[in-house]
């Protein structure tokens, strides 16, 4: 306590440290709803992207939704800010790496897609290995990392390979400290015309390949470690009903010997969804999806995994 001599007699100024919030301690509040629409989240995302991350490079425009041809202000703004292809959120990457690994940890990403998970991992001192089936995507990711205005502390690595035949790409005895990925959501976005591309397969074929990729990745995960998987549900294009892809994902990890530790709902910005929501609601009462799931699984002992991850 300090005394201010200029204060009125009997009044003291007490030095009290400011309160520490959950966001101060953990970057974002560790709650099961991750609100990607919030100002703090969006500000942090802008700062990550300002480093020069362009994760959509290497993929065609309009994968997530067709470009709107409308002339209304919302449609015109959408065309200004997005090419219609989904880009992985760097803030989510940061949370997964900070919460479920430690500096120096090795990360395996069997469906690497764009560059962002690798660049964020390297910037935070994680040793990242990403696998993608498309040569042009891997080349774009490597170029992205090389062109960053902020050089990653640990340079990420990308390999051309098939997630459903992972041992054809990575050494059979390689072990990793974290499995972190976001696979294609079945055929929601079709990334290529390569018949090996899992996004081109029928749904049943996709599920079988997805299960294999999960099992193979988890076989390379060390004991007492975590796996984080981002997934969203998809509709049957014939019936319009949901398939339950996120539930199938949980079953696949459980079959691989892991257990569900956390289930988070990521609330997505609704800007693009607002354009698309009207027609399906009128036609067949389909409500437009504006959330995804982050599942965190543990392999081995929960307490030992937390001890390995270290202090937050």
Name the pTM for this structure. Answer: 0.85
- Residue 113 in tokens: 């897609």
Cα Rg, the chain, nearest whole Å: 22
- Tens digit of each residue's pLDDT (9 = 90 or more) over 42-79: 999 999 999 888 766 654 544 443 444 454 444 444 44
Give SS3 for 81: helix
Average pLDDT value for residue range 218-242: 97
Q: Would you state the pLDDT for residue 14? A: 59
Instruction: Please compute the mean of the pLDDT values over residues 119-124 and round it to a whole number.
Output: 95
Structural domains in the chain, sorted by start: 33-52+87-309 (3.40.50.150)
What's the pLDDT score for residue 1? 45
> Helix (H, G, I), strand (E, B), or coil: what is residue 198?
helix
Residues 281/37/114/202 CA torsion (nearest 10 deg) = -30
Q: How far apart are the first and last CA of the chain?
A: 30
């Amino acid at each position: 306590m300090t005394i201010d001599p200029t204060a009125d007699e009997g009044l003291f100024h007490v030095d009290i440290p400011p309160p520490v919030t959950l966001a101060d301690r953990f970057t974002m509040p560790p709650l099961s709803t991750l609100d990607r629409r919030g100002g703090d989240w969006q500000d942090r995302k802008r700062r990550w992207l300002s480093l020069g991350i362009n994760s959509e490079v290497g993929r065609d425009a309009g994968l997530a939704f067709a470009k709107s041809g409308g002339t209304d202000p919302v449609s015109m703004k959408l065309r200004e800010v997005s090419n219609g292809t989904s880009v992985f959120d760097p803030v989510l990457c940061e949370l997964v790496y900070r919460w479920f690994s430690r500096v120096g940890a090795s990360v395996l990403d069997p469906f690497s897609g764009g560059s962002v998970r690798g660049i964020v991992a390297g910037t935070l001192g994680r040793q990242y290995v990403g696998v993608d089936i498309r040569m042009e995507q891997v080349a774009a990711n490597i170029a992205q990392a090389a062109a960053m205005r902020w050089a990653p502390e640990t340079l990420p690595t990308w390999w051309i390979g098939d997630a459903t035949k992972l041992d054809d790409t990575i050494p059979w005895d390689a072990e990793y400290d974290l499995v972190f990925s976001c696979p294609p959501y079945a055929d929601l976005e079709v990334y290529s015309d390569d018949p090996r591309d899992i996004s081109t397969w029928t749904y049943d074929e996709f599920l079988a390949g997805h299960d294999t990729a999960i099992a193979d990745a988890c076989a390379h995960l060390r004991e007492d470690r975590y796996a984080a998987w981002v997934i969203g549900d998809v509709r049957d294009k014939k019936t319009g009903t949901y398939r339950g892809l996120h539930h199938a994902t949980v079953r696949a990890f459980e079959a691989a010997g892991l257990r569900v530790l956390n289930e988070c709902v990521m609330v997505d910005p609704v800007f693009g969804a607002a354009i698309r929501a009207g027609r399906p609601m009128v036609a067949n009462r389909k409500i437009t999806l504006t959330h995804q799931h982050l599942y965190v699984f543990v392999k081995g002992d929960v307490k030992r995994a937390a001890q390995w991850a270290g202090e937050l």
